[in-house]
Amino acid sequence: VSVPGDAALGPGREFDLIRSLIQRWGAAAVGIGDDAALLRVPRGETLLASVDANVEGIHFQRDWFAPDEIGYRAVTAALSDLAAMAARPLGMLISLTVPESWMHELGRVADGIGEAATRFQSPILGGNMAAAVELSITTTVLGAAFAPLMRGGARDGDAVYVTGLLGGPGAALAHLQRGEEAGDGRPRLAKPVARLSEARWLADAGAMCAIDISDGLVADLGHVAAASNVHVEVEASAIPVFPSASLADALQGGDEYELVVTSPAALDTEAFARRFGVPLTKIGRVVGGPPTVDVRGARVADAKGYDHFSR
Ligand SMILES: [Mg+2]
């Protein structure tokens, strides 16, 4: 069922639930009220769409996060794909599957979704809800861009830059998977940032290619190398590593949602840091050669990153 408008909702538990979510979202939910959402794309811009599923037991364990963090990070991960294209969010559709055992926490999950919608200025336009055996949050994000950045935009001679400090989420996740406290990297894992404003700044400054780090720096640069048919060289000593993380966490850890960009023009890293309060670091270059990634000065035992279907 599409989420009907709050005024038009009929009786029944499902609609009571939806009504309560819309109420909790307040101004974060916009234009919900018909069978489908209406979007206006500015003339001359391109519509971008992406969908991302976050499933209990696969992407997270229930006891790792507070319910609002589960909602927040699911939506932010989806929005990060718009950042990777330097797009501005127009809004999103939220599809929830909810087991009975989660019903009493559903409001708090929704609060996290609403918090991310507000922070990243991406209104909730509609959605869907179904009963299921595990909690899942599937977010469809819709955005617009005049000149989207693509993975295939890297060229021989470009410099490679990364936003932020890497390895925090990977280190925290490794701790959680061993049954330990998540440590200092926990906020980076539980409340990631979609670098939407940063991406548009980078595109305006001359970046021609971008990807967000969801699977790991080396793995995601591998996608750039393949899509652009270029070779990428990264200097291990240049990688900005999160204080309590290792170089391996920084090279291979996923769930970063930092951006990697390539640019033919030098980017003003100090101006970026002043504007956004996070570093922008030159970590390597694009050179001629096979479409792969080399990390100079580090042994990368397994640079494959997160593979959704590996066992
Ligand atoms: Mg991505």
Q: How confident is the model over 132-163, as pLDDT tens digits?
A: 999 999 999 999 999 999 999 999 999 999 99
Sign of the alpha-carbon dihedral angle for 76, 277, 259, 248:
negative
CA 44 to ligand 1 center in whole angstroms: 24
What's the rounded mean pLDDT across residues 260-281? 98
CA 3 to ligand 1 center in whole angstroms: 27
Percent over 90 (pLDDT), the chain: 85
Q: Which two tokens stand for residue 134?
A: 């595990």
CA 11 to ligand 1 center in whole angstroms: 40
CA 77 to ligand 1 center in whole angstroms: 8
Q: What is the dihedral of CA 227, 231, 237, 242, to 10 degrees?
A: 10
Q: Are strands 209-212 and 159-163 parallel, antiparallel or unpaired?
A: unpaired
What's the rounded mean pLDDT across residues 247-269? 97
What's the gap between Cα 15 and its chain centre?
A: 30
pTM of the predicted structure, to 2 decimals: 0.92
**Alpha helix (H) ranges present in 84-161?**
106-119
Residue 304 is predicted with a pLDDT of 46
Burial profile 114-131: b = 16 or more Cβ within 10 angstroms, e = fewer: bbbbebbebbbbbbebee
CA 84 to ligand 1 center in whole angstroms: 6
CA 16 to ligand 1 center in whole angstroms: 35
CA 20 to ligand 1 center in whole angstroms: 32
